[in-house]
Structure 1
Amino acid sequence: MASRSNIDTLPYDIVSKILSYTSPQDACGFSMVSSTLHSVADSNTLWQSFLPSDYDDIISRTVIPLILQSSSYKHLFYSLCQHPLLLDRGLMSFKLDKSSGKKSYILSARKLSISWSSDPLYWSWRPTPESRFEEAAELRSVSWLEINGKIRTRILTPNTTYAVYLITNVSHRRYGLDSAPAEVSVEVSNKVLNGKAYLYQNIFIEDINNEIRVPSKRDDGWMEIELGEFLCGEADEEVKVSVREVGYQLKGGLIVEGIEVRPKILV
């Protein structure tokens, strides 16, 4: 008779408690070790522990109500990973990180403070088929470009390093976006992380300073520019994000979808 592993001899609730201190990714791996671990790793009790403590409140704020099918918290977890929720009248998007279960949010352009955005001479608001939100902001022409956003750390995952990204695209009539880098900053509790970033990278720009960030392609077809990072602790604090390019050079053609705050992948 094959000998049982040590963990197979432990009570079910103890094994469940042990696995709750791992990650969703680890739990899926453990489920293949033994029948005992498979049973625990697939249980509602375990997968409910991987969900955010405020998941009920988050779901209640969705534009389209989400129904927990078959009372499966594992199904709900992966649904929140693969199908982001629109919250608060469609002004925010929420999802979970598949490997860690940590929370991330995207603030829509309408949720941001964009200078002159209410004046149609400078900005236009229009539906964008590829956007997760009803509309995006397209820059017509300004010399003073300023975008600000804010989010409270209480809605994020504690003890997690977050990175902040401006999600953009450019239209065919873009101009002036690569003439000078924008000043970017992330501020938490009077601690400010400053940097510089180009809002658009022309293929003819050479020898860019490594300290100046440039847009990179996302899987959803948009571009993203890293603005900075911060450590989300236990206290409730306000995170302030800023993008400023206030030179006298006219610029246009920038399309802003929003600002994403997501767990930073540590390598």
Structure 2
Amino acid sequence: MASGGGGGGEAVEEGTTTRVGDLPEACLADVIALTSPRDACRLAAVSPSFRAAAESDAVWDRFLPPDYRAIAPLPPPPATAAASGGKRMKKGVYLGLCDKPVPVDDGSMMVWLEKESGAKCFALPARKLSLPWEDGEFSWRWTPHPLSRFEEVAQLVDCTCLDIYGRLPAAALTPATPYAAYLVFGTAAAAEGHRGLSFPDQETTVSAAGRVVARHAVCLAPTYAEARKFRGSASPVAAMLGTMMHTLGLNTIKAELQVIICEVDTDDSGNINFLKFLDLITR
């Protein structure tokens, strides 16, 4: 249809439109990279053009941590990636870091990525924790465990009071990301017994740059009566009960104790100190 008004106006074809999917792949990739890994996977199902952009290295390079090459160097490109110019490799690196923890620092720590956000996660072995009185009043055994990520775990034989400290460089964490600290432990069979895990409550603290950013009262082994007592309460103990996981039939109780870190100054070159437990008595 020709435009009117004289003066030789330009002809415009009727019904022509520009769809989002018609944009160049680089433009789509820049927009998708501003979302999240989860959204990128969903957008890949919209159309072939969206899929090409959502799976490109330009997108997944934004989701990988800056130091990912030190954690997991790029593997040799497969034939499909070579055919496409090697532009579809980093999504595989991302998923690999999500599916399997990678040992770093000569195996003294495990690192992996949280799949939905890409945040770096860390696992510290018992050897990296500060366990008091290792050669004195307290008695420890270092032994392998089939469910542990590491070669050995610390088995506490007897003590009267126990503090456990862990430390992690703040610069290693993903910026602007809420973090949670977990203590993963198991108890002996019920026949052997343990005491002090259910009462009194234990205390956890998290400090960054020399100041405490989180403090909670928790219960490592609540009884059913205690669980009912705190059900529906706003108590920090009740908030932590949801993280307890009981493994039945294995003669052990595996528990995860969660401490939420809401704000961390990642510009500070110091350390995150976490998981301080007081008044823990066991045998």
- TM-score class, shorter-chain normalisation, is 0.7 to 0.9
What is the 5 A alignment of 1:1-267? 6-59=19-72, 67=75, 70=78, 72-118=89-135, 122-172=139-189, 173-176=192-195, 177-192=197-212, 193-205=214-226, 207-208=229-230, 210-212=235-237, 213-214=240-241, 216-217=244-245, 222-236=254-268, 237-246=270-279, 250-252=281-283
Residue 15 to residue 128, structure 1, CA distance change in 2 (3 Å):
same
Question: What is the distance in 2 between the residues matched to 1:69 and 1:169?
Answer: 42
Letter of the aligned partner of 2:44 in structure 1?
A: S
SS in structure 2 of the partner of residue 244 of structure 1: coil
CA contact (8 A) 2:132 2:138 kept: no
- The structure whose Rg is larger is 2
Aligned to 1:261: none
Aligned to 1:256: none
Once the two structures are superposed, what CA deviation does each residue of 1:186-233 show, in whole Å capped at 9, x if it has no partner? 0112331211112222345452473223451289x8420113423234
CA contact (8 A) 2:164 2:276 kept: yes
Once the two structures are superposed, what CA deviation does each residue of 1:140-179 show, in whole Å capped at 9, x if it has no partner? 1101101001111211110111111111111113411223
TM-score scaled by length of structure 1: 0.81
TM-score scaled by length of structure 2: 0.77
Greater CA drift, 45-54 or 228-237: 228-237
CA contact (8 A) 2:208 2:265 kept: no
SS in structure 2 of the partner of residue 226 of structure 1: strand
Once the two structures are superposed, what CA deviation does each residue of 1:29-83 show, in whole Å capped at 9, x if it has no partner? 11111221111112223222211110012237xxxxx845536211111111111
Question: What is the distance in 1 between the residues matched to 2:150 and 2:61?
Answer: 29
Letter of the aligned partner of 1:137 in structure 2?
A: A
**Structure 1 residue 95, shift from structure 2 partner:** 0.9
Matched length: 243
Greater CA drift, 144-153 or 191-200: 191-200
SS in structure 1 of the partner of residue 221 of structure 2: coil
Give the aligned CA root-mean-square deviation in angstroms: 2.6
Q: Which runs of 5+ in 2 are unaligned?
A: 1-14, 79-85, 248-252
SS in structure 1 of the partner of residue 97 of structure 2: helix
SS in structure 2 of the partner of residue 232 of structure 1: coil
Higher RCO, Cα 8 Å, sep 6+: 1
